[in-house]
Structure 1
Amino acid sequence: MTRGTARYVAGRLATAVVLLAALSLVVYVGVDLLPGDPATARLGPNATPDQVAVARERLGLDQPLSRRYLEWAGGLLHGDLGTSANGTPVADMLAGRLGNSAVLAALAIVLLVPLSLVLGVALGRRAGSRADGTGSTLLLLTTAVPEFVVAGMLALLVGGQLGWLPATSLFPAGDSPLAHPDVLVLPVLSLLWVSVAYATRVIRAQTLIALRAPHVEAMRLNGIPERTVLRQGVLPAVLPSALQIWLIGSAGLLGGTVLVEAVFSYPGIGTVLVSSVTTGDLPVVQALAMIMGALTLLATIAADVVGAAVGRTRSV
């Protein structure tokens, strides 16, 4: 790593710290403005005003917003995500659920990388052909259909009508989702739907640029086999951009995971987030929003760093 690249990376990391601090403020204040009250959610709708007032005081909700935010942010720095409206530490509630969601996202990313790379390079090599035109049109249409719509269609057709796979992705508490692979197929396919299409389009475009580069043309004129040209001339030029789009895509999978999990009743963070918003369990919503926002921010900055590092390496 050159000195300039190291300086850039350090600058982006410093920016990440500032943005994370700003994100925490936006998340806490924004979620606090949502309808609902943790005290009422904990006591139930039949609680008396006096009981609600006592609960709000016990939860610290009678304190100014600024003081509550500082206490919450300080807890985040020490790994404390707060306490749910039902009295359970948020970290304990999310421990297993985060792992389940991570399995879904990881499987989607593992499949996204080879699928998008193979399809993108294949379409780029056949630019202008009927196969490329058909494939590009299908990819464009695919990107227009959200994950939750695909999830609903798969649950209805494949799970409900055909019965090939479970329409709901439930499994015994305490088990790893990997021990029940049949419940993972439809959610993973739903997540891949848009991600593969978007990444493939980008990689196709980068393949076209690489194929027209002078060094690739020189390799072909010298009679070097096409497979070697792809391996030594095209892929090194395509992979940096592909890595960026995969990183950004992995961040986008987080938002898609929430919706897909809700459709399939998968025991991940998505179902917890939906139920917490519905019941007004604000501490859980704040913690999940912060976690997802932070992961998205870090993935985006990682993509920036990769792009800058590659650009500076090429210019040396």
Structure 2
Amino acid sequence: MGDILGLIGRRLGLGLIILFVISIIIFFMVELLPGDIAQAVLGQGATEENLAALREQMGLNKPAIVRYLEWLSGAVTFDFGSSVVTGERVTTLIGERFMNTLFLAAYAAVIAVPFAIVLGIIVALLRNSVFDRVANVLTLTSISSPEFFLGYILILYFSVKWGMFPAISSLSEGMSLGDLLYRTFLPALTLVLVVTAHMMRMTRAAIINLLASPYIEMARLKGAPPWKVIVKHALPNAWAPIINVVALNLAYLITGVVLVEVVFVYPGIGQALVDAVSKRDFPVVQACCLIFAATFILLNLAADVGAILTNPRLRHPK
């Protein structure tokens, strides 16, 4: 147990260091943008008094390192300042949007994860069959297609031609769960198509890689049916790579939804990031980027912990 806690502690410390480095990159990338930030926010018609007031509000009169330390100390307590466009607290502005993104990611994950694992097991059972070849072609097509392209294809058929689902995922307060699932089905399906293919192929590869192992050959010689060989013998030893790829795809579902949210006008944090970039709302941009980075690092840590718990060789490295 001590070895596991030590490994988790080291990976958590490494994650915090990486997040600190990313925070420096995020903050100073904004600083390196050409031109006057206040002028970019207010436009060319702004008066000197308004520009001076905005510079004072954003702390642009202070040295960059001082502003970074103030921003970092606020970020540690989830205080990212105020929006320069609306004046609203950034935490309030993106809090509900982030919950919407988490809901969409969870919606897609509930469908994609079990479907991908089961499909990967079936394809491994039917290796080199027609079903295996068709599945490989379809998954390669899905992986190679950009999210926005898949989204527009789904809108074309499911919304325009067939009229089954709305093209725009507009949400409102007081919606029932059924109505919410109905309105967000197309963006969730787009994410499912993107991540299912990757998880299915990794599940298939992990199981097939183990089928040549001596203990698998022994199970076959004892007369165990193919499904039992895979489910009871191969799958438990394949969990480590499967958990890794599932965690990485869950990270993508949260951090990679920007294009999907823009296509379906879904009110998530990705849409908020795009709106903030177009309006030069830099406090919101910095907060969204840092949240994306922290989420990705946290889910990578979860993948490492899952791999450690499911692999005795990682639990006992000596």
Q: Give TM-score, length-normalised by structure 1.
A: 0.92
**CA deviation after TM superposition for structure 1 residue 101, in Å:** 0.6
Query: In structure 1, what is the equivalent of residue 314 of structure 2?
Result: 312
Instruction: Supply the distance in 1 between the matched residues of 2:216 and 2:301 (Cα, whole angstroms).
Output: 31
Amino acid at match of 1:189: L
Query: In structure 1, what is the equivalent of residue 197 of structure 2?
Result: 197
Query: In structure 1, what is the equivalent of residue 80 of structure 2?
Result: 81
Contact 1:97 1:268 in 2 (8 A): yes
**Residue pairs, 1:28-39, within 5 angstroms:** 28-34=27-33, 39=38
Decide whether aligned partners of structure 1 residues 6 and 180 sit closer, same or farther in structure 2, where only a CA change above 3 A counts: closer
Contact 1:151 1:190 in 2 (8 A): yes
Query: In structure 1, what is the equivalent of residue 6 of structure 2?
Result: 7
Decide whether aligned partners of structure 1 residues 44 and 87 sit closer, same or farther in structure 2, where only a CA change above 3 A counts: farther
**CA deviation after TM superposition for structure 1 residue 174, in Å:** 6.0
Query: In structure 1, what is the equivalent of residue 134 of structure 2?
Result: 134
Instruction: Give secondary structure in 2 for the equivalent of 1:6.
Output: helix
Amino acid at match of 2:15: A
**CA deviation after TM superposition for structure 1 residue 294, in Å:** 1.0
Instruction: Supply the distance in 2 between the matched residues of 1:177 and 1:57 (Cα, whole angstroms).
Output: 45
Amino acid at match of 1:18: I
**CA deviation after TM superposition for structure 1 residue 315, in Å:** 6.9
Contact 1:125 1:207 in 2 (8 A): no
Decide whether aligned partners of structure 1 residues 257 and 177 sit closer, same or farther in structure 2, where only a CA change above 3 A counts: farther
Instruction: Supply the distance in 2 between the matched residues of 1:15 and 1:102 (Cα, whole angstroms).
Output: 25
Amino acid at match of 1:70: L
> 2:52 aligned with 1:53, yes or no?
yes
Contact 1:195 1:249 in 2 (8 A): yes
Pick which of 162-171 and 173-182 moved more: 173-182
Contact 1:139 1:197 in 2 (8 A): yes
Decide whether aligned partners of structure 1 residues 244 and 268 sit closer, same or farther in structure 2, where only a CA change above 3 A counts: same
Instruction: Give secondary structure in 2 for the equivalent of 1:207.
Output: helix
Amino acid at match of 2:278: T
Query: In structure 1, what is the equivalent of residue 172 of structure 2?
Result: 172
Instruction: Supply the distance in 2 between the matched residues of 1:233 and 1:57 (Cα, whole angstroms).
Output: 65
Query: In structure 2, what is the equivalent of residue 93 of structure 1?
Result: 93
Instruction: Supply the distance in 1 between the matched residues of 2:280 and 2:225 (Cα, whole angstroms).
Output: 63
**CA deviation after TM superposition for structure 1 residue 92, in Å:** 0.5
**CA deviation after TM superposition for structure 1 residue 158, in Å:** 1.6
1:70-112 Cα shifts (integer Å, max 9, x gaps): 0000001112122111210000101211111100001111112
Instruction: Give secondary structure in 1 for the equivalent of 2:97.
Output: helix
Could you tell me the percent identity over the aligned residues?
A: 35
Q: Give TM-score, length-normalised by structure 2.
A: 0.91
1:191-240 Cα shifts (integer Å, max 9, x gaps): 11221111111111111122222212212211234443333202202222
Query: In structure 1, what is the equivalent of residue 273 of structure 2?
Result: 273
Instruction: Supply the distance in 1 between the matched residues of 2:161 and 2:180 (Cα, whole angstroms).
Output: 21
Instruction: Give secondary structure in 2 for the equivalent of 1:180.
Output: helix
**CA deviation after TM superposition for structure 1 residue 268, in Å:** 1.0
1:235-265 Cα shifts (integer Å, max 9, x gaps): 2022221111000111112233111111111
Contact 1:147 1:256 in 2 (8 A): no
- Structure 1: gaps spanning 5 or more residues: none
Contact 1:100 1:177 in 2 (8 A): no
**CA deviation after TM superposition for structure 1 residue 183, in Å:** 1.1
**CA deviation after TM superposition for structure 1 residue 301, in Å:** 2.7
- Structure 2: gaps spanning 5 or more residues: none
CA RMSD of aligned residues (A): 2.2
> 2:232 aligned with 1:249, yes or no?
no
Instruction: Supply the distance in 2 between the matched residues of 1:243 and 1:263 (Cα, whole angstroms).
Output: 30
Instruction: Give secondary structure in 2 for the equivalent of 1:242.
Output: helix
Amino acid at match of 2:232: Q
Pick which of 33-42 and 143-152 moved more: 33-42
Contact 2:125 2:226 in 1 (8 A): no
Instruction: Supply the distance in 2 between the matched residues of 1:35 and 1:116 (Cα, whole angstroms).
Output: 45
Pick which of 125-134 and 93-102 moved more: 125-134
Decide whether aligned partners of structure 1 residues 105 and 53 sit closer, same or farther in structure 2, where only a CA change above 3 A counts: same
Decide whether aligned partners of structure 1 residues 219 and 315 sit closer, same or farther in structure 2, where only a CA change above 3 A counts: farther
**CA deviation after TM superposition for structure 1 residue 312, in Å:** 2.2
Pick which of 119-128 and 151-160 moved more: 151-160
Query: In structure 1, what is the equivalent of residue 149 of structure 2?
Result: 149
Decide whether aligned partners of structure 1 residues 246 and 277 sit closer, same or farther in structure 2, where only a CA change above 3 A counts: same
Pick which of 260-269 and 219-228 moved more: 219-228
Instruction: Give secondary structure in 2 for the equivalent of 1:266.
Output: coil
Contact 1:187 1:264 in 2 (8 A): yes
**CA deviation after TM superposition for structure 1 residue 141, in Å:** 1.8
Pick which of 146-155 and 277-286 moved more: 146-155
Contact 2:207 2:230 in 1 (8 A): no
Contact 2:102 2:254 in 1 (8 A): no
Pick which of 85-94 and 204-213 moved more: 204-213
